[in-house]
Structure 1
Amino acid sequence: MRPLRSAGYVGLLAVAGVMAGCAAAPLVQGVGLSSYDTMVPSDGVLTKSRLAVNKDAVLAARTVRIVPTSFPSHIAPKLTSQQRMLVANSVNRGLCVSLSDRFKVVPPDEAADLTVQAHVTQATETDEVVAGISAAASFGMNFVDLGVPVPTPRIPIGMGNLSMEAAATDASGRQQASMLWARGANAIFSSPRASKASDAYELADAFGEDFGALLVKGESPFGASGIDLPSAQKINSAMGLPPKYAACERYGRYPGLAGVVGGQLGLPPEWTDKGAKPAAPAAPAAAATAP
C-alpha cells in the first residue's frame, strides 16, 4: 500500500500546483504621504512594493513612536467596525514588534526620533463561505493516512487582498522612509478562515513586519540574500508572551496557541484575537471646593 500512498501524495501535489494562486493585489496610492516622487519598485516573491529610504537618517534613529493606522470606512465597506479595527490593530502590532528589533518603541504621545504611521489604501473582503469550506476540507485531510504530511491548498476563489502605504518622519516632520505595499492571499500559505476580514487581518501583520524591517535595516526587506531568523523577542511575542516594550501592550498580544488552533479550525480571527487594549479611563477631575 505504501507505493499507492506515495502515488496519491504526488497526485495531490500536482493538484495543488494547479490550484495554487494569489489574489490580485494592486498598488494603490493614497494621500497619507508627503511625497511619492522618489519611490522605486522593490518587489518580493509574493509582494508588490515601491519604497524610498534615507538609510543614514533611519539607521541613526534610536527611538520610534507609532501613530495608529487609519482604515477609512469607504474601503472594504462590507467589513464591520470591529473587523476594521482588528485589521488596523494587526498593522500596529506587527509594526511594534518588528520595530522592537532595533528601536526603543515609545508611546504615541512621547517624542521620538522617528514617527511611523500607516494607512490602508485598498482591501478586498474574503469570501467567508468558500474559506470555511476550504478550512473544513483541510481539517478533514488531517485524518487521512497517506503516510506523509499533506499540504491542502485552499480553494482559490474569493481570497482577499490588502494594499497599504506608510511613512516614517523625523522630529522635524521630514519623510525619511516610505512604502507602498500590496499582497493578495495565497492558496497555499494563507489560512482560510470563515470571516470577511481574515485575509486582510493576516496580510496586515505581514505589512507591519515588512515596513518594520525596512526601518530596522535601512534597506528593502525584499530580495535580500540569506534567511533572517526571527529574534527572541519576536518569537516570544508570537507565542503571546509580553512584548519587549510596554508601549506595544496597547495593541494587545498575539493570540499565540489559541490563534494557531483557531487558524487550523478556520475560526474567524475575531474569535481568537482580543485586539487592542481599551484605553485607560481618564482620571476624574478634582472636585471644586466651596468658597
Structure 2
Amino acid sequence: MMLVMVGMLPACASTPLVQGLELSSYEGMKPSDGLITKSRINVRKEQVLAASTVKLLPTAFAPLLGPKLSSEQRALIANAVNRALCISVSDRLRVVAPDQPADLIVKANVTHVTETDEVAAGVSAAVSLGMNFVDVGAPIPTPRIPIGLGNLSMEAEALDPRGRQQASMIWGRGANALFNSPRASKSSDAYDLAAEFGGDFGQMLVKGESPFDSVGIDLPSWQKINSAIGLPPKYAACEQYGRAPGIRGLIGSQLGLPPEWTDDGAKPHRY
C-alpha cells in the first residue's frame, strides 16, 4: 500500500509558493518543506512559546487574484483558514475575541489559487461512488482523475502587541489525486487546502518550530477531534467561524458535493 501511495505522489497539482505584499517583513524566512508542501518560515521560538493568548484577524485574498471564484466561495475558503487556525492554536494558546488584547495577533492572506476543474472532479466522484457498488469482497481505493487539480498558496504572520513579527510563513500545496476527495466545485481543493494551511501555521505557533520538522506521527488532541465532528470548540472565540461540517461534510465529500452545500460558513458571534 505504501508503494501505491508513493507512486501516486506525482499525480498532484503543481505546488505554488507565491509571496504576497501584506506581511510586515519577509526577512529571515528559510525553506522548510514537507512531503507534499512547500514553505518558507521564520519563527522566534522563545517569544512564541512565551505567549499564552492569541487573536485572529480575518483572512483576506490578494487584490490581484482573478475573479474565477465567487464571493461566496472566497468567503468559505477564508473562513476555512480561520476555523482551522483557531482549532489548531487552541492546543496551547487561549483564543480571545478580535477586540480583546492578546500576546499574538495572527493575519493570513491567500496569495494564489488555481481552481478545481468541476467536470473532472465530478467524473472522478461518480467513478469512486460507482466502485462502491462493485462486489469484489473488499473496498476498492479509487484515486481521482489527476486532471484539473487545484492548488493554494498562503502567507501569514504572528505579531506581538507592539507590532513586531514573531512568526511568519509562506505556504503552498497542490491537491493530490489520492488524498483530496473530488468535489464538483471550483473551490473544493482550495477549501480543503485552506484547512491544511490553518493546521500547519497553528502548529507552528503551538510548538514554536516548523510543523514539518516533527519526527513520527502527532495524534490529534481531543479538542481537535471534537471540533472536527462538529462539536463546540474549546474557546468561544472560535464559534464565529462556524462549526466543522462533521459527518455531513464527510458524506458530502464522498458524494462529490460542493463544500458550499455542506459547510454553513461563518457564524458571527457576539461577545
Taking structure 2 as the reference length, the TM-score comes to 0.95
Pick aligned residue for 1:196 from 176, 179, 186? 186
Deviates more, 1:27-36 or 1:39-48: 27-36
Question: Hey, what's the Cα distance between the residues in 2 that align with 1:273 and 1:205?
Answer: 13
Q: Does 1:173 align with 2:157?
A: no
Q: Does 1:228 align with 2:218?
A: yes
Question: Hey, what's the Cα distance between the residues in 2 that align with 1:19 and 1:202?
Answer: 17
Pick aligned residue for 1:217 from 207, 211, 236? 207
Letter in 2 for 1:219: E
Letter in 2 for 1:142: N
Task: Give yes or no for contact 1:16–1:153 (8 Å, CA) kept in 2.
Answer: no
Letter in 2 for 1:200: A
Distance 1:19 1:118, change over 3 A: closer
Q: Does 1:88 align with 2:78?
A: yes
Percent of counterpart pairs with the same letter? 67
SS of aligned partner of 1:122: strand
Letter in 1 for 2:183: R
TM-superposed CA distance for 1:278, in Å, is: 3.9
Based on CA coordinates, which of the two structures has the bigger radius of gyration? 1
Offset from partner CA, 1:88-125 (integer Å, 9 cap, x none): 00000000000000000001111100000000000001
Pick aligned residue for 2:121 from 122, 126, 131? 131
Matches within 5 A, 1:30-109: 30-72=20-62, 74-109=64-99
Q: Does 1:244 align with 2:221?
A: no
Pick aligned residue for 1:26 from 12, 16, 19? 16
Offset from partner CA, 1:46-104 (integer Å, 9 cap, x none): 10000000000000000000000001354242100000000000000000000000000
TM-superposed CA distance for 1:26, in Å, is: 1.4
Question: Hey, what's the Cα distance between the residues in 2 that align with 1:65 and 1:115?
Answer: 5
Offset from partner CA, 1:225-264 (integer Å, 9 cap, x none): 1110000000000000000000000000000000000000
Task: Give yes or no for contact 1:24–1:184 (8 Å, CA) kept in 2.
Answer: yes
Q: Which residue of 1 aligns with 2:147?
A: 157
Gaps of 5+ in 1: 1-9, 281-291
Q: Which residue of 1 aligns with 2:249?
A: 259
Question: Hey, what's the Cα distance between the residues in 1 that align with 2:171 and 2:6?
Answer: 27
Question: Hey, what's the Cα distance between the residues in 2 that align with 1:114 and 1:33?
Answer: 15
Question: Hey, what's the Cα distance between the residues in 2 that align with 1:270 and 1:76?
Answer: 20
Task: Give yes or no for contact 1:105–1:248 (8 Å, CA) kept in 2.
Answer: yes
Task: Give yes or no for contact 1:19–1:153 (8 Å, CA) kept in 2.
Answer: no
TM-superposed CA distance for 1:279, in Å, is: 6.1
Task: Give yes or no for contact 1:76–1:125 (8 Å, CA) kept in 2.
Answer: no
Offset from partner CA, 1:177-205 (integer Å, 9 cap, x none): 00000000000000100000000000000
Letter in 1 for 2:59: T
CA RMSD, Structure 1 to Structure 2 (Å): 1.8
Task: Give yes or no for contact 1:128–1:194 (8 Å, CA) kept in 2.
Answer: yes
Distance 1:156 1:145, change over 3 A: same
Taking structure 1 as the reference length, the TM-score comes to 0.89
Deviates more, 1:13-22 or 1:40-49: 13-22
Task: Give yes or no for contact 1:76–1:122 (8 Å, CA) kept in 2.
Answer: no
Count of aligned pairs between the two proteins:
269
Question: Hey, what's the Cα distance between the residues in 2 that align with 1:73 and 1:181?
Answer: 18
Question: Hey, what's the Cα distance between the residues in 1 that align with 2:22 and 2:156?
Answer: 8
Question: Hey, what's the Cα distance between the residues in 1 that align with 2:160 and 2:181?
Answer: 37
SS of aligned partner of 1:68: coil
